[in-house]
């Protein structure tokens, strides 16, 4: 079982996409491929503990049964989820969650190029408009 801090959960057509980090700061996207490995997501039950409570949610720390890395294309952080249900570890306060996000965030003053992970939090300092002029937020 691998402990991860869940940073994002996005609902997809019939499941969810989850992104988190380990205590070492490694990006993890627990997932399982469909039959043709053309689409990857978790099923709703993959996010519930044994009694059926949804525990894989933003700001929660959970232990998940991650079997092996299964990188594909831009998704270098994909990990195959095993059969064991996730286990709750704890829940971050809003301040703790914000601190974790700030710790892993990169300043976005230049285009993000050459990133190996699909997820890359950024601290947006400005927006480039059609005129290509930099506008300070």
How does pLDDT run across 2-60, given as a tens digit for each residue?
999 999 898 877 788 899 999 888 889 998 877 666 667 888 888 888 778 888 999 99
Ranges in the chain annotated CATH 2.40.50:
2-95
pLDDT band (50, 70, 90) for residue 93: very high
- Max Cα separation, the chain? 55
Give the model confidence (pLDDT) of 50-77 as tens digits: 778 888 999 999 999 999 998 887 778 8
What pLDDT does 105 receive?
A: 73
What pLDDT does 111 receive?
A: 52
* Structural fold of domain 2-95: OB fold (Dihydrolipoamide Acetyltransferase, E2P) (2.40.50)
**∠ CA(43), CA(47), CA(49), 5° rounding?**
130
């Amino acid at each position: 079982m691998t402990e991860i801090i869940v940073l994002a959960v996005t609902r997809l057509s019939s499941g969810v996409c989850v992104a988190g980090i380990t205590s070492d700061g490694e990006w993890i996207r627990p997932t399982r491929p469909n039959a043709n490995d053309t689409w990857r997501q978790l099923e709703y039950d993959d996010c519930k503990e044994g009694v059926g409570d949804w525990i894989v949610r933003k700001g929660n720390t959970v232990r998940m049964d991650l079997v092996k890395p299964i990188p594909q294309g831009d998704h270098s952080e994909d990990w195959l989820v095993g059969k064991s249900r996730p286990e709750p570890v704890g829940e971050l306060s809003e301040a703790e969650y914000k601190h974790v996000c700030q710790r892993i965030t990169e300043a976005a003053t230049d285009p993000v190029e050459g990133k190996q992970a699909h997820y890359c939090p950024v601290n947006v300092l400005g927006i480039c408009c059609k005129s290509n002029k930099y506008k300070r937020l």
